[in-house]
Amino acid sequence: MKKELNGKAIYSPSGKAGEYAKYACNFYVGCSNNCDYCYCKRGLLSHAMGGTTPTLKKCFEGHSPYGIFVKELHERIVPLRKHGLFFTFTSDPLLPETQDLNNAAVLYAVNQGVPCKFLTKRADFKVLDSFYNFQHLIAYGFTLTGMDAMELAASSNQDRIATMEYLHNRGFKTFASIEPVIDIEKSKQMIAQTLGYCDLYKIGLMSGHKDYTREQVAQFVMDVNDMIHRHNFYNKEDVKVYWKDSVLEFLKIERTDKCFDHWFCVGADYNMFNN
């Protein structure tokens, strides 16, 4: 199937990435977080995407990445205003090497009314002063696995959590990518420690070999749903969770199953900027 949008900077992701966003922006390939489990370091595309030094995509050679981004943004401005932009799938958008260009692109986008989401494993990035005028259009997401030993060059999970709390308390929307679930108990701890300053959880399993069973994952789903239900009920909050397809496929159940029949369980198309 032809992608709806396939620009140099802005494109329509598919597969597992499509469960995160309808539109995304990638300026860089490679990531200095150097996580053991990174999908960009495995498979057929690892030679092109799996380096530990972030570099601009080759399609930008001899061109202005920012200028291309602006052009592509205006070509799809109406749907982008509706669905927003995700930064980024082929690197970390808030590395010391990548954040200046990504911040500049987000600042331009939100000035055009386009919501933007970052997903990072960093806690040491800069929040532009101008961003505080656009809290309603900017969301910061943090990948939380609880597995610092597998993410040695990233900020610690606890530092990421502290930064999430800081940003949430200052009016930004926040979300957590609990993916990959490597250790079920550690993933539950990440959720428990962030309830109260996380608006949305997206939860997905480890690809390939897993050190847990279907029964353990089914219990994990029930435990997390119960945790979020109790939090929302007692704190009068509206925290949401999206269970990624990897969870359903592993359990061999449909999204219509009673496990997901909760008002706070949302679909992949959930728009956190409209709530």
pLDDT in tens, the chain (275 residues): 345 778 999 999 988 888 889 999 999 999 999 898 886 665 555 555 657 899 999 999 999 999 999 999 999 999 999 999 999 999 999 999 999 999 999 999 999 999 999 999 999 999 999 999 999 999 999 999 999 999 999 999 999 999 999 999 999 999 999 999 999 999 999 999 999 999 999 999 998 888 999 999 999 999 999 999 999 999 999 999 999 999 999 999 999 999 999 999 999 999 999 86
Q: Residue 59 half-sphere exposure, CB side, CA atoms within 13 Å?
A: 15
- Domain span holding position 67: 1-115
Total of domains in the chain: 2
Does residue 105 lie within any of the structural domains? yes
Does residue 122 lie within any of the structural domains? no
Same domain, yes or no: 152 and 96: no
CA quadruple 185, 191, 195, 200: dihedral, nearest 10:
-160
Same domain, yes or no: 152 and 229: yes
Burial environment of residue 208 by CB neighbours within 10 A (0 to 12, 13 to 18, 19 or more): exposed
Q: Which two tokens stand for residue 27?
A: 């300026």
Closest CA to 79 of 119, 115, 104, 118: 115
Q: Where on the phi/psi map is residue 254: left (φ > 0), alpha (ψ -120 to 50), or beta?
A: beta
pLDDT tens by residue, 234-275: 999 999 999 999 999 999 999 999 999 999 999 999 999 986
106-126 burial, b for 16+ CB within 10 Å, e for fewer? Answer: bbebbeeebbbbbbbbbbebe
Same domain, yes or no: 259 and 189: yes
- What does the alpha-carbon distance between residue 137 and residue 156 come to, in Å, rounded to a whole number? 27
Closest CA to 194 of 181, 171, 179, 175: 175
Same domain, yes or no: 144 and 275: yes
Which of 55, 82, 115 is where one domain is finished?
115
- What does the alpha-carbon distance between residue 217 and residue 213 come to, in Å, rounded to a whole number? 6
Which of 115, 144, 161 is where one domain is finished?
115
Q: What angle do CA 97, 102, 107 make, to 5 degrees?
A: 140
Same domain, yes or no: 195 and 267: yes
Same domain, yes or no: 170 and 73: no
pLDDT (0 to 100) of residue 14: 86
Same domain, yes or no: 142 and 16: no
Q: Which two tokens stand for residue 152?
A: 């040695």
User: Whole-model pTM?
Assistant: 0.94
